């Protein structure tokens, strides 16, 4: 039997159940990754599907995967273009009997596979859930009946056992002789890779691939036991150690979420359960919740009212949006976050919440432009998690927490973070760096683009 395995957001050999099945049942196997060039052009909400930081990470991840595959005397074919056409072409050209692909929650990703199934009714298609902790059969209720609120979702699934991660295949079937000459396309040129720009001194930097993912997993759990502090550090802004940094590897599937889950459980077994280990598992359940919301609601996640369906009018102000993306709003904490995101492709969870609130509630801009900007910029952009978090934020009530300055003083009390990313503020005393607009403002720092008077009362 001749198989074709199509890698998507599962750039790994470990815990890849579909790849494992194909390795067992095929005599010959073609391994493919398709890069859809349409992602490089700005879309409906102005942003591209992928920006330089994630492109760099993707390239490294594919190089790492190719190396691992080469150890099995196999090769990864990298092709650029419309994935449906590329996969169809290879199915025809090499008379493929069986296609293997990991199911993803995004509606477009699922439709793509359905289109191929319709084109080749005789083709055996092996699909399985490898991007989530659970599979639909392990969920206690059917997908349409899954609760819309996180706490109810967690109550339902928290005592369920996710699948154990599968081992990598012992060997891979060889490629068909005729495909040995199938050329890979060159990887697209990456403009302005973030590695060449200034980054803070204690920033290790993300490196794509399964090997780097396991290094980070071991570093965070076993080498440094940083996981024990997670509960107290996860609101941090500066440095490598305040949170696990697993996101980018999880998003591209260099690391399986089940592998992370069971590694944390293993850590608890040997070193003891604590608030921090439990908190990290809970964060993985947030990730899981958003994956299934995407499956349940599909396209509705991208609608103006999100999954809650409130069709509120969503305005767009191009100048304010540009100021937000470029870190030039005149609000130091927002600008520091947005400059970090622009330069490195990274932003802390607290930072993401603050800038997202600011866009949707202070600038009153259609939140979907913000979500699309995040999707382009973040190294760990994950369709379900990113759009899910934005849905969650826009439907929430406005609270005191949304007071940007209050949060700035609470989470960056010494103004270290704003000083790091906005050197122009360093001429002011620390106590004034979050509020340059209420003191002698540095000449090259702009006046705020929102009315900040209301914030003063709540401080
Ligand atoms: C507006 C907005 C957009 C976001 N977009 C993304 C995104 O595209 N991709 C992404 O992985 N995370 C996203 N997050 C969630 C969260 O901010 C990041 O997962 C986290 O900051 C990544 O850092 P870490 O890997 O060190 O995570 P840790 O804090 O160490 O947590 C471990 C893992 O748990 C999961 N997780 C943590 N927080 C959340 C959360 N709020 N929702 C869902 N899963 C979570 C992630 O997989 C994360 O890698 C977003 C949050 C907001 C507010």
Show the domain range for 33.
Answer: 2-130
Do residue 143 and residue 125 come from a single domain?
no
Looking at 9-18, 234-243, 412-421, 435-444, which range is the least confident one? 435-444
Pocket of ligand 1 (CB under 6 A): 234, 243-247, 250-251, 280, 283-284, 286-287, 290, 348-349, 352-353, 356, 374, 378, 380-382, 385-386, 389-390, 393
Do residue 255 and residue 143 come from a single domain?
yes
Q: What is the CATH number of the domain that holds 236?
A: 1.25.40.80
Q: What is the CATH number of the domain that holds 41?
A: 3.40.50.620
Query: Rounded mean pLDDT of the chain?
Result: 92
Pick from 130, 146, 175: which residue ends a domain?
Answer: 130
Atom 19 in ligand 1: which residue has the minimum CA distance? 247
Q: Quick one: average pLDDT of 315-332?
A: 96
Pick from 130, 147, 181: which residue ends a domain?
Answer: 130
pLDDT at position 33: 98
Do residue 126 and residue 136 come from a single domain?
no
Ligand 1 atom closest to residue 284's alpha carbon, by position in its atom list: 34
Judge whether 185 lies within some domain. no
Angle between helices 275-297 and 383-395 (to 10 degrees): 90
pLDDT at position 456: 79
Which element (helix H / strand E) includes 32? strand 28-35
Distance between Cα 174 and ligand 1 center (Å):
38
Q: How confident is the model at residue 314 (pLDDT cuts 50, 70, 90)?
A: confident
Residue of 228, 264, 385, 396 to test ligand 1 pocket, by largest number of atoms within 8 Å of CB: 385
DSSP string, 64-116: HHHHHHHTTT--EEEEES-HHHHHHHHHHHTT--EEEEEE-SSHHHHHHHHHH
Looking at 41-55, 146-160, 376-390, 392-406, which range is the least confident one? 392-406
Domain count within the chain: 3
More confident residue, 308 or 13: 13
Do residue 97 and residue 146 come from a single domain?
no
Residue 409 burial (C-beta neighbours within 10 Å; 0-12, 13-18, 19+)? middle
CB 21 within 8 A of CB 115: no
Strands 98-103 and 124-129: parallel
Residue of 230, 283, 361, 371 to test ligand 1 pocket, by largest number of atoms within 8 Å of CB: 283
Number of neighbours of residue 413 by Cβ within 10 angstroms: 10
pLDDT tens digits for 49-78?
999 999 999 999 999 999 999 999 999 999
SS3 at position 8: coil
* Measured distance CA(213)–CA(247) in Å, rounded: 10
Do residue 55 and residue 147 come from a single domain?
no
Please report where in the chains the tokens 């090997």 appear, as a residue.
Answer: 211
* Measured distance CA(307)–CA(281) in Å, rounded: 25
Q: Quick one: average pLDDT of 339-366?
A: 94
Residue 366 has pLDDT above 70, yes or no: yes
CB 424 within 8 A of CB 442: yes
Judge whether 156 lies within some domain. yes
Do residue 29 and residue 68 come from a single domain?
yes
Pick from 297, 330, 348: which residue ends a domain?
Answer: 297
Do residue 363 and residue 254 come from a single domain?
no
Do residue 293 and residue 149 come from a single domain?
yes
Distance between Cα 74 and ligand 1 center (Å):
34
Looking at 167-171, 233-237, 305-309, 311-315, which range is the least confident one? 311-315
Judge whether 174 lies within some domain. no
CB 252 within 8 A of CB 11: yes
Residue 459 has pLDDT above 60, yes or no: yes
């Amino acid at each position: 039997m001749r198989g074709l395995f199509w890698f998507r957001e599962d750039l790994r050999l470990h815990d890849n159940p579909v790849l494992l099945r194909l390795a067992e049942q095929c005599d010959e196997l073609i391994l493919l990754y398709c890069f859809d060039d349409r992602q490089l052009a700005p879309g409906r909400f102005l942003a591209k599907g992928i920006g330089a930081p994630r492109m760099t990470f993707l390239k490294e991840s594919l190089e790492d995967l190719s190396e691992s595959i080469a150890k099995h005397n196999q090769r990864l074919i990298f092709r650029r273009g419309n994935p449906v056409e590329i996969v169809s072409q290879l199915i025809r050209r090499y008379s493929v009997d069986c296609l293997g692909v990991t199911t993803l929650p995004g509606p477009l990703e699922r439709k793509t596979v359905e289109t191929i199934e319709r084109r080749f009714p005789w083709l055996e298609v092996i699909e399985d859930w490898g991007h989530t902790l659970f599979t639909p059969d392990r969920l206690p209720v059917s997908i349409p009946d899954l609760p819309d609120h996180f706490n109810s979702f967690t109550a339902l699934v928290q005592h369920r056992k996710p699948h154990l991660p599968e081992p990598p295949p012992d060997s891979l079937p060889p490629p068909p002789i005729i495909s040995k000459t199938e050329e890979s396309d060159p990887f697209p040129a990456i403009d302005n890779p973030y590695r060449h720009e200034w980054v803070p001194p204690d920033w290790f930097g993300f490196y794509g691939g399964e090997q780097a993912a396991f290094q980070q997993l071991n570093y965070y759990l076993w080498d440094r036991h940083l996981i024990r502090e997670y509960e107290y550090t996860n609101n941090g802004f500066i440095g490598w150690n305040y949170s696990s940094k697993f996101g980018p590897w999880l998003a591209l599937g260099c690391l399986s979420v089940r592998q992370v889950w069971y590694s944390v459980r293993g850590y608890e077994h040997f070193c003891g359960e604590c608030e921090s280990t439990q908190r990290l598992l809970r964060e993985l359940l947030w990730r899981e919740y958003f994956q299934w919301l995407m499956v349940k609601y599909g396209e509705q996640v991208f609608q103006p009212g999100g999954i809650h369906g409130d069709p509120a009018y969503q305005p767009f102000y191009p100048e304010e949006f540009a100021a937000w993306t470029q870190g030039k709003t005149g609000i130091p904490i927002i600008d520091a976050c947005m400059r970090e995101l622009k330069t490195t492709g990274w932003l802390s969870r607290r930072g993401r919440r603050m800038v997202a609130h600011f866009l949707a509630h202070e600038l009153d801009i259609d939140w979907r432009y913000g979500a699309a900007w995040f999707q382009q910029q973040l190294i760990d952009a994950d369709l379900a998690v990113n759009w899910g978090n934005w849905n969650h934020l826009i439907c929430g009530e406005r609270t005191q927490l949304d007071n940007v300055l209050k949060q700035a003083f609470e989470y960056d009390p010494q103004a270290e973070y704003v000083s790091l990313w906005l050197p122009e503020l360093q001429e002011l005393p620390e106590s004034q760096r979050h509020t340059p607009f209420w003191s002698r403002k540095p000449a090259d720092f702009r006046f705020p683009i929102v009315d900040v008077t209301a914030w003063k009362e709540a401080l």
